[in-house]
């Protein structure tokens, strides 16, 4: 099978960044079909509360940790992407699941909920740049390369939760597993029981950090596959010898933290604890005091003694919320520059009010649906993750 990836034009890309237009090969969607309330409307909070109250138990609002405070205040549950998808599945009586997150999260919720439930993303342009870095046609081309080299049969695909339904479906079709940032080692342990090597999608940093720092692999055991280069920019020998074939993808937020960021904060704040997410670069994770998932970061800060100082390498909305919740501790952003997740930040109060009020009016907007075949295979990869020891 031969697939071709087409680079979008500059004009198309610009429109997508504005939330206009569409690209079926990416997570990014289209502009809202209705008129949004003005951000300056002083009644937005009251309108959101009234619409949510009118819907009652018919609606269940999920809020990812990286969302704005103005949105989080209306969430029934907050959490990371996998926790929220499971929470959605645990609410079978909720007719509407309003997912304040990004596109791949809403897809996962649709996969895990019943056909009778409708998953809604308040802004379809809320995508994930990391998920967009692994497009199905690219991954199929990479798999063809491995097949031609005679090594696909001994390669197990593993995809991070932060990937599209198409990629999860590909992994499920090819006997692989989904992982989260907290169970990546368990997923890789399982994968290496099934085969000799792993194709890890789409976040190179989580794959590398887990393999090297938790499983005892060397950096030489890992190669970086670039989907924009023939053969991934690797020789057949490199692909045959590698244990971990890492996809060239990363988080635009966590990828910005550098070793200089760590050294700078240690010079400025004596005794500071550096706490980072495993999506950060390898050298940053190596230099940190503690590394863990979003939920791990929250638990660590909550359990920390009063007076302790923490530099946190993750999205700014969460860091700011932790600082406000724990005024007895010194909590700061690891990098001096402000850095929100730009696509996650697209879900704002006007979009939430619009989506809720449309539901009150009997109109379902921005529904996220995954086709049954893709959902079936993606569900098998998710179920395999749930079956991991200790899951």
pLDDT digits (tens, 9 = 90+) for 197-219: 999 999 999 999 999 999 999 99
The answer to whether residues 260 and 201 belong to one domain is no
Is 22 within a domain? no
Residue 230: domain span = 131-251
**Averaged pLDDT for residues 130-148:** 96
DSSP letter assigned to residue 75: -
Which pLDDT band holds residue 20 (cuts at 50, 70, 90)?
Answer: very low
pLDDT value at residue 260: 95
Is 383 within a domain? no
The answer to whether residues 157 and 171 belong to one domain is yes
Higher pLDDT, 341 or 295: 295
Higher pLDDT, 342 or 25: 342
Dihedral sign, Cα of residue 302, residue 308, residue 312, residue 316: positive
The answer to whether residues 229 and 275 belong to one domain is no
Q: 31 pLDDT exceeds 60? A: no
Judge whether 95 is annotated as a binding position.
no
Q: 273-276 and 290-291: which strand pairing? A: parallel
> Strand runs (DSSP E) across the chain, as ranges?
59-64, 77-79, 96-100, 118-120, 155-160, 177-179, 197-201, 222-225, 244-247, 273-276, 290-291, 309-313, 330-333, 367-368
Judge whether 286 is annotated as a binding position.
no
Judge whether 162 is annotated as a binding position.
yes
Q: 367-368 and 118-120: which strand pairing? A: antiparallel
Q: How far apart are CA 11 and CA 65, in angstroms?
A: 32
Tell me the pLDDT tens digit for each residue of 61-103. Answer: 999 888 889 999 999 999 888 888 888 888 999 999 999 999 9
Compute CA distances 120 → 95, 109, 217, whole Å: 11, 10, 41
Q: What is the CATH number of the domain that holds 325?
A: 3.40.50.10800
Cβ(129)–Cβ(252) below 8 Å = yes
The answer to whether residues 176 and 239 belong to one domain is yes
Q: Quick count: other Cβ atoms within 10 Å of Cβ 4?
A: 7
236 in helix, strand or coil?
Answer: helix
pLDDT value at residue 12: 41
Q: How many domains does the chain have?
A: 3
Q: 104 pLDDT exceeds 80? A: yes
Judge whether 64 is annotated as a binding position.
yes
Q: How far apart are CA 152 and CA 144, in angstroms?
A: 8
pLDDT value at residue 22: 47
Report the mean per-residue pLDDT for the chain.
89
Of the chain, the percentage scoring pLDDT greater than 90 comes to: 74
Q: 292 pLDDT exceeds 90? A: yes
The answer to whether residues 309 and 259 belong to one domain is yes
**Averaged pLDDT for residues 105-128:** 92
pLDDT value at residue 342: 74
Judge whether 340 is annotated as a binding position.
no
Domain end residue (candidates: 333, 353, 382): 333
Instruction: Report the Cα–Cα distance between both ends of the chain, in Å, rounded.
Output: 35
Tell me the pLDDT tens digit for each residue of 75-86. Answer: 999 988 888 888
Q: For residue 203, what are the contacts with CB-CB under 8 A and spacing of at least 6?
A: 130, 160, 162, 247, 249, 250, 251, 279
**Averaged pLDDT for residues 261-287:** 96
Q: How far apart are CA 78 and CA 67, in angstroms?
A: 9
pLDDT value at residue 172: 97
Is 16 within a domain? no
The answer to whether residues 246 and 179 belong to one domain is yes
Q: How far apart are CA 249 and CA 237, in angstroms?
A: 22
DSSP letter assigned to residue 93: T
Higher pLDDT, 338 or 116: 116
Cβ(254)–Cβ(280) below 8 Å = yes
Judge whether 357 is annotated as a binding position.
no
Cβ(81)–Cβ(64) below 8 Å = yes
The answer to whether residues 189 and 276 belong to one domain is no
Q: For residue 215, what are the contacts with CB-CB under 8 A and spacing of at least 6?
A: 185, 188, 189
Judge whether 279 is annotated as a binding position.
yes
Domain end residue (candidates: 235, 251, 267): 251
Is 388 within a domain? no
Tell me the pLDDT tens digit for each residue of 305-332. Answer: 999 999 999 988 899 999 999 999 999 9
Is 385 within a domain? no
**Averaged pLDDT for residues 367-377:** 96
The answer to whether residues 137 and 246 belong to one domain is yes
pLDDT value at residue 33: 59
Instruction: Read off the pTM.
Output: 0.86
The answer to whether residues 226 and 279 belong to one domain is no
**Averaged pLDDT for residues 267-279:** 96
Q: 362 pLDDT exceeds 70? A: yes
Is 13 within a domain? no
Q: 287 pLDDT exceeds 60? A: yes
The answer to whether residues 163 and 247 belong to one domain is yes
Q: 175 pLDDT exceeds 50? A: yes
Judge whether 161 is annotated as a binding position.
yes
Tell me the pLDDT tens digit for each residue of 346-360. Answer: 899 999 999 999 999
Domain end residue (candidates: 251, 286, 318): 251
The answer to whether residues 320 and 347 belong to one domain is no
Judge whether 174 is annotated as a binding position.
no
Judge whether 182 is annotated as a binding position.
no
Is 275 within a domain? yes
Is 50 within a domain? yes
Judge whether 160 is annotated as a binding position.
yes
Q: 383 pLDDT exceeds 70? A: yes
The answer to whether residues 258 and 285 belong to one domain is yes
Q: 108 pLDDT exceeds 60? A: yes
Dihedral sign, Cα of residue 34, residue 117, residue 29, residue 204: positive
Q: How far apart are CA 221 and CA 208, in angstroms?
A: 9
């Amino acid at each position: 099978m031969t697939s071709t990836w087409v680079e979008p034009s500059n004009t198309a890309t610009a429109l997508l960044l504005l939330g206009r237009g569409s690209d079926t090969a990416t997570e990014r969607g289209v502009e809202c079909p209705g008129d949004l309330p003005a951000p300056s409307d002083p009644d937005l909070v009251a309108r959101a509360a009234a619409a949510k109250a009118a819907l009652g138990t018919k609606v269940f609002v999920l809020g990812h940790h990286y969302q704005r405070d103005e949105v989080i205040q209306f969430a029934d549950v907050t959490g990371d992407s996998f926790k929220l998808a499971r929470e959605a599945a645990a609410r079978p009586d909720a007719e509407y699941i309003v997912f304040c997150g990004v596109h791949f999260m809403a897809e996962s919720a649709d996969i895990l909920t019943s056909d009778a439930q409708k998953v809604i993303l308040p802004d379809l342009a809320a995508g994930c740049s990391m998920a967009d870095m692994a497009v199905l046609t690219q991954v199929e081309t990479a798999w063809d390369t491995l097949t031609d080299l005679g090594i696909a049969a001994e390669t197990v695909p593993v995809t991070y939760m932060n990937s599209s339904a198409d990629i999860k479906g590909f992994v499920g079709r090819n006997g692989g597993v989904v992982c989260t940032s907290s169970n990546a080692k368990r997923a890789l342990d399982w994968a290496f029981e099934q085969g000799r090597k792993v194709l890890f999608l789409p976040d190179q940093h989580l794959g590398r950090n887990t393999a090297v720092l938790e499983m005892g692999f060397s950096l030489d055991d890992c190669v970086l596959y670039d989907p924009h280069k023939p053969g991934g920019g690797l020789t057949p020998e490199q692909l045959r010898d590698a244990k971990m074939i890492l996809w060239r993808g990363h988080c635009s937020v966590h990828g910005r933290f550098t070793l200089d960021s760590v050294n700078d904060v240690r010079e400025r704040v004596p005794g500071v604890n550096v706490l980072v997410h495993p999506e950060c670069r390898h050298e940053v994770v190596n230099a940190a005091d503690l590394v863990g998932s979003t939920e791990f970061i929250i638990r660590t800060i909550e359990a920390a003694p009063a007076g302790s100082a923490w530099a946190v390498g993750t999205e700014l909305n969460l860091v700011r919320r932790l600082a406000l919740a724990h005024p007895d501790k010194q909590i700061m952003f690891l990098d001096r520059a402000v850095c929100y997740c730009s696509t996650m930040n697209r879900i704002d109060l006007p979009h939430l009010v619009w989506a809720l009020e449309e539901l009150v009016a009997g109109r379902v907007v921005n529904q996220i649906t995954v086709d049954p075949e893709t959902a079936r295979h993606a569900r098998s990869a998710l179920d395999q993750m749930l079956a991991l020891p200790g899951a």
